[in-house]
Amino acid sequence: LIEAVGAREILDSRGNPTVEVEVLLDDGIVQRAAVPSGASTGAFEAYELRDGDKSRYGGKGVLKAVEAVIDELGPAIEGVDAAEQRVIDGILIDVDGTENKKRVGANAILGVSLAVAKAAADSADLPLFRYLGGPNAHLLPVPLFNVINGGEHADNGIDFQEYFLAPIGADTYSESLRWGVETYHVLKSELKAAGFNTGLGDEGGFAPDLPSNREGLEFLLKAIEKAGFTPGKDIAVGLDVAATEFFSDGVYRVEGGEWSAEQLIEYFEGLVRDFPIVTIEDALAEDDWDNWKSLTDAIGSKVQLVGDDLFVTNPKRLADGIARGVGNSLLVKVNQIGTLTETFDAVSLAHRAGYTAMLSHRSGETEDTTIADLVVATNSGQIKTGAPARSERVAKYNQLLRIEEELGDAAVFAGRSAFPRFQG
Ligand code: PGA
Ligand code: ZN
C-alpha cells in the first residue's frame, strides 16, 4: 500500500527545473521517478505546469507542481495498493479534473504515475520491464541514435531536427549499440576533416552548420561505410523533420525558401529513393492532416511515418489518425500524455492497428531510465534516446544492456523486423 508521496524540484539536462517524485510503500520500499521536458513540443501535448515566477529560474520553476504532488495527488492515493496502476492513474486524472492536465500539471501527475510503478515493481521483487510487461516481455529494441542535431535542438542552420543511425542488421542489442557508437565516432572525424564544428546539440548529436538537409544524410552514409558497415543492410538511417517548427501561414520554410506541402512530399519521395531511410518522423506539421494523408499514400508503404507532434501519445488523436489512414507509426513520450496507463493504451491501440510504436526520450532529460524498461515491456522494438553520448542519453542505452543481460537467452533483438515497411 502507498504510505506517502513526496516531491522535489531537480534539474534536467538543459539546466531547467523539473519534478522528481518519491513514493514510500508500507513495506518500506522507496522508489523515485523524474520527469523529462521537450523543446519542440506539440500544441496538443498534456500541460507542463511551470511557476511563471520570473524571480526564479526565469519563470521555469516547478514548485507549484511539486506542491500539487505533496498536497493533492499524494494524499489522494495514500492507502491504495501500488499494484493498481490503472486505478491510481484514474485517481490522478480525476484529481486534476481537466482535459489536458492543466490544473495540477502533467509533470506532477507523470512523476507520481512512474514512481508508483517503480515502487510496485520493487515491492514485487521484479525488474520494471518484467513487472510492466509480464512474462512475454523479451524484445530488445533497435536504438535510433540521433547523431546530427538541428532545428530547435541546436544553433546551426539545419532545418531538420534529428538524423538517426539505425543499426538494424546487428544480431543483438549490445552489438547494435557498438555499431552505433563506432559510427558516431567516425562521423565526428568526418565532420572535422570537412571543416565543420563538432560541438554537440541538446541530444548529444553533432551540430554542424551543414549547407543543406541532404548533406546530413550524405555524412551519415559516409560514416557508416568508413566504420566498415553497409548502409541499409547493417545500418539504416532516419529523420525527425519536426516540421511543425518551420511551418507557418500554410508554408514550410526550408533551406531559405517557402515550400508547399506538395513540394516537401516530393522532396521526401526523392530522399527515400536515394537513401536507405527506415523512418521519417513529423515530416509535416501537427495540424496538416490532409497533406499527412497524401504523404502516407505516397510513401507510407515504403517507410515508417511517425507521428510525434501529430499524435502526442494521445489515444484519441491516434484513433483519429488511424481512421483517416494517416501515418503508420506512433512516437511514444510518457510526458506528452502524463500517465503510464494512457501511454500503454496508446501503444496497444497502435499495435492493434498495425502501426509500429517507437519509445522516446525528450530533449530535456534526466538520469531516469524508465523508458528503457517501457520499450521492452511493450515489445515495441524501437527506441530513440539520443546520441550515444551525454549521460542522460547513455543512461537509457546502458539500462537496456542490463535488461539484455537479465533476459539472457530469452532476449530477442528486434533488428530489421522492427521496420516491416522498409525495403532498402
Ligand atoms: P522535444 O524533441 O523533446 O524537444 O520535443 C524530441 C522530438 O521532437 O522527437
Ligand atoms: Zn519529434
**What is the ipTM, given to two decimal places?**
0.98
* Ligand 1 binding pocket mutation candidate from 308, 311, 362, 396 (most atoms within 8 A of CB): 362
Q: What is the pLDDT of residue 133?
A: 98
- Rounded to the nearest angstrom, the gap between the alpha carbon of residue 117 and the centroid of all alpha carbons in its chain is 19
203 C-alpha vs ligand 2 centroid, how far in Å? 12
Q: What is the pLDDT of residue 212?
A: 94
Q: What is the pLDDT of residue 48?
A: 98
The helix or strand, by DSSP H or E, that contains position 247, with its residue range, turns out to be strand 247-248
Of the candidates 251, 291, 296, which has an alpha carbon nearest to the alpha carbon of residue 272?
A: 296
The number of the ligand 1 atom at minimal distance from the alpha carbon of 331 is: 9
Of the candidates 68, 118, 112, which has an alpha carbon nearest to the alpha carbon of residue 90?
A: 112
Cell of 98: 481537466
Residue 325, sorted as left (phi over 0), alpha (psi -120 to 50) or beta, turns out to be: left
Does the predicted model carry a pTM greater than 0.80? yes
126 C-alpha vs ligand 1 centroid, how far in Å? 31
The number of the ligand 1 atom at minimal distance from the alpha carbon of 282 is: 8
Q: What is the pLDDT of residue 155?
A: 87
Binding residues for (2R)-2-phosphoglycerate: 161, 333, 362-363, 384
Distances from the Cα of 220 to the Cαs of 185, 226, 236, 239, 267, in angstroms? 11, 10, 9, 11, 18
pLDDT along the chain (424 residues), means of 10: 98 98 98 96 96 98 98 98 98 98 98 99 98 98 98 90 98 98 98 97 96 96 98 98 96 96 98 98 97 98 98 97 98 98 98 98 98 98 98 98 98 98 91
38 C-alpha vs ligand 1 centroid, how far in Å? 5
* Ligand 1 binding pocket mutation candidate from 280, 308, 383 (most atoms within 8 A of CB): 308
> CB of 309 closer than 6 A to ligand 1?
no
The number of the ligand 1 atom at minimal distance from the alpha carbon of 309 is: 8
Q: What is the pLDDT of residue 424?
A: 81
Binding residues: 161, 240, 281, 308, 333, 362-363, 384
Q: What is the pLDDT of residue 64?
A: 98
The number of the ligand 1 atom at minimal distance from the alpha carbon of 281 is: 9
Q: Which residues form the catalytic set?
A: 203, 333
39 C-alpha vs ligand 1 centroid, how far in Å? 6
How far is residue 86's CA from residue 179's CA, in Å, rounded to a whole number? Answer: 39
The SS3 assignment for 383 reads strand
The SS3 assignment for 423 reads coil
